[in-house]
């Protein structure tokens, strides 16, 4: 039997507190994971967006649907009258405070032998564009503001958590989704992408700037998301994901441990061809989101078979996060199509054990 494929967990896991996430993952997956997120206990991009509600220089101006069919409207913010963009500073968001609390729980469990030695705590940050796409300012203005705010959060995390214990993952959600929208605007029911704009070069410059501030001894990874999550009718163009990864990677001056890229159940063999074009630094691993609870082990095995024809080596993961923790502060507008289609179904607190067992079965298949 060949060695199991490594497993990557993107971020969200529907358990609380963080200790419950760490213990459950460690029990189910053991050494098949080398890093464990805290489940996104304060939410993902919603943690940044909550701070805009309180910001003395920002005000809500309108609500725009995040998902197809006019569903899940989100607040759009603008500068209040009398303020100038050059006066604006974003944050704090709370990611650092959350990470320090979660790491304390992580370390306690690892010291007790419940989490395997050598496992890292994975702190997740939204990309600059993802964190601030709801602020109506030009890309050349809002992206530097957003990346600076995220670096302040990351700097606090790095100062408090030993590098050997830490992975920082940057999630490029709206960054990749906007590029996919720009290439096929008629394919999507996505008015949110008319609220903001940046070019792929601007996006990549901003994401790489943030990554390059992180000391090289801290493990770094990227998750790239897909507009399919918001409007499944348009499918998913893997060339956009590859181009996004390559654009960011080409600007990095430090090592990157991995990129996570989703795939979708409807993909056929020809849809995997763009992955041949990945141009990542030596030593960078790819984790493909081949796991989907809608078709389980057999669906994952089919997708692995197609991926093996174009990639020599890759780890396995769910297509995105596994579901939000059941707490008020982790909530926000649905980040996925509403109503949910089967291929977008997530885990629940009741099913998370079975979903993690599915991850193990896929890794060992």
| Pairing status of strand 258-262 against strand 71-79 | unpaired
Q: Reply yes or no on whether the pLDDT at 333 is more than 70.
A: no
- State the CB neighbour count (10 A cutoff) for residue 2: 6
Write down the domain spans for the chain: 7-364
Residue 19 predicted with pLDDT over 80: yes
Average pLDDT, the chain: 95
Q: Does domain 7-364 have CATH number 3.20.20?
A: yes
Lowest mean pLDDT, pick from 26-35, 70-79, 226-235, 328-337 = 328-337
Please tell me the predicted confidence (pLDDT) of residue 259.
Answer: 98
Average pLDDT over residues 33-52: 94
111 has pLDDT over 90 = yes
338 has a pLDDT exceeding 80: no
Q: Distance (Å, rounded) from C-alpha 204 to C-alpha 237? A: 18
337: pLDDT strictly greater than 90: no
* Least confident range of 66-70, 106-110, 221-225: 66-70
**Per-residue pLDDT band at 327 (split at 50, 70, 90):** confident
Helix axis angle for 18-29 and 95-111, nearest 10°, is 50
Higher pLDDT, 62 or 337: 62
pLDDT level of residue 113 (50, 70, 90 thresholds):
very high
C-alpha span between 8 and 219 (Å, rounded): 14
At residue 334, does pLDDT exceed 70?
no
Adjacent-strand bridge partners of 76: 62
What pTM was computed for the model? Answer: 0.96
Average the pLDDT over 234-251 and give the result: 97
Pairwise CA distance, residues 120 & 196, whole Å: 35
Residues 271-280, mean pLDDT to the nearest whole number: 98
Average pLDDT over residues 134-143: 97
Confidence at residue 234, expressed as pLDDT on a 0 to 100 scale: 93
Instruction: Give the pLDDT mean for 239-254.
Output: 98
pLDDT at 237 over 60: yes
Contacts of 213 (CB under 8 A, 6+ apart): 151, 154, 155
pLDDT at 125 over 70: yes
Express as a percent the part of the chain with pLDDT over 70: 98
Rounded CA separation 163/240 (Å): 32
What does the pLDDT average to over 127-156?
97
- 192-197-202-208 Cα dihedral, nearest 10 degrees: -20
| 125 DSSP β-pair partners | 170
| Residues near 331 by beta carbon (within 8 Å), at least 6 away in sequence | 43, 46, 324
d(CA 91, CA 93): 5
Task: Give the per-residue SS3 of the chain.
Answer: CCCCCCEECCCECCCCCHHHHHHHHHHHHHHHCCEEECECCCCCHHHHHHHHHHCCCEEEEEEEEEEHHHEEEEEEEEECCCCCHHHCCCCCCCHHHHHHHHHHHHHHHHHCCCCCCCCEEEEEEECHHHHHCCECCCHHHHHHHHHHHHHHHHHHHHHHCCHHHEEEEEEECHHHHHHHHHHCHHHCCCHHHHCCCCCHHHHHHHHHHHHHHCCCCCEEEEEECCHHHCCHHHCCCHHHHHHHHHHHHCCCCCCCCEEEEECCCCCCHHHHHHHHHCCCCCCCEEEEEEECCCCHHHHHHHHHHHHHCCCCCCEEEECCCCCCCCCHHHCCCCCCCCCCCHHHCCCCCCCHHHHHHHHHHHHHC
Q: Name the one residue in this structure whose structure tokens are 């607190």.
A: 349
High-pLDDT (> 90) share of the chain, %: 91
Rounded CA gap, 175 and 247, in Å? 11
**What pLDDT was estimated at residue 2?**
81
State how far the Cα of 360 lies from the Cα of 284, in Å rounded to an integer: 22
pLDDT of 95-105, one tens digit each? Answer: 999 999 999 99
Residue 336's pLDDT band (boundaries 50, 70, 90)? confident
Greatest C-alpha distance within the chain: 67
pLDDT tens digits for range 172-187: 999 999 999 999 999 9
Average pLDDT over residues 181-198: 95
Task: Give the length of the chain.
Answer: 365
């Amino acid at each position: 039997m060949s060695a199991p494929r490594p497993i990557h967990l993107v971020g969200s896991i529907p358990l609380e507190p963080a200790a419950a996430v760490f213990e459950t993952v460690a029990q189910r997956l053991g050494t098949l994971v080398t890093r464990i997120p805290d489940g996104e206990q304060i939410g993902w991009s919603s943690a940044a967006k909550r701070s805009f509600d309180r910001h003395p220089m920002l005000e809500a101006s309108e609500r725009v649907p995040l998902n197809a069919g006019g569903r899940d409207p989100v607040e759009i913010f603008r500068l209040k009258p009398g303020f100038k963009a050059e006066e604006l500073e974003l944050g704090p968001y709370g990611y650092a405070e959350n990470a320090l609390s979660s790491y304390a729980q992580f370390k306690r469990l690892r010291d007790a032998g419940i989490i395997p030695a050598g496992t890292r705590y994975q702190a997740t940050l939204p990309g600059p564009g993802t964190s601030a796409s709801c602020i109506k300012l030009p890309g050349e203005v809002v992206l530097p503001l957003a990346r600076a705010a995220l670096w302040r959060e990351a700097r606090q995390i790095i100062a408090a958590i030993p590098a050997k214990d830490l992975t920082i993952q940057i999630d490029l959600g709206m960054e990749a989704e906007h590029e996919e929208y720009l290439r096929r605007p008629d394919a999507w029911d996505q008015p949110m992408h008319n609220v903001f704009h940046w070019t792929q070069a601007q996006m990549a410059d901003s994401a790489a700037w943030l990554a390059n501030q992180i000391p090289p001894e801290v493990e770094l990874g990227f998750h790239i998301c897909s507009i399919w999550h918001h409007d499944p009718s348009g499918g998913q163009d893997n060339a956009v994901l590859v181009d996004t990864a390559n654009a960011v990677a080409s600007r990095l001056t430090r090592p990157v441990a991995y990129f996570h890229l989703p795939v979708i159940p409807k993909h056929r063999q020809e849809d995997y061809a763009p992955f041949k074009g990945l141009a990542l630094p030596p030593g960078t691993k790819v984790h493909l989101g081949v796991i989907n609870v809608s078709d389980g082990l057999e669906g994952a095995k089919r997708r692995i078979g197609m991926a093996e024809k174009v990639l020599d080596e890759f780890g396995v993961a769910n297509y995105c996060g596994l579901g939000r923790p059941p707490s008020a502060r982790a909530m926000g507008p649905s980040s996925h199509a509403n109503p949910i289609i089967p291929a977008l179904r997530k885990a629940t607190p009741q099913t998370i054990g079975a979903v993690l067992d599915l991850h193990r079965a896929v890794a060992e298949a």
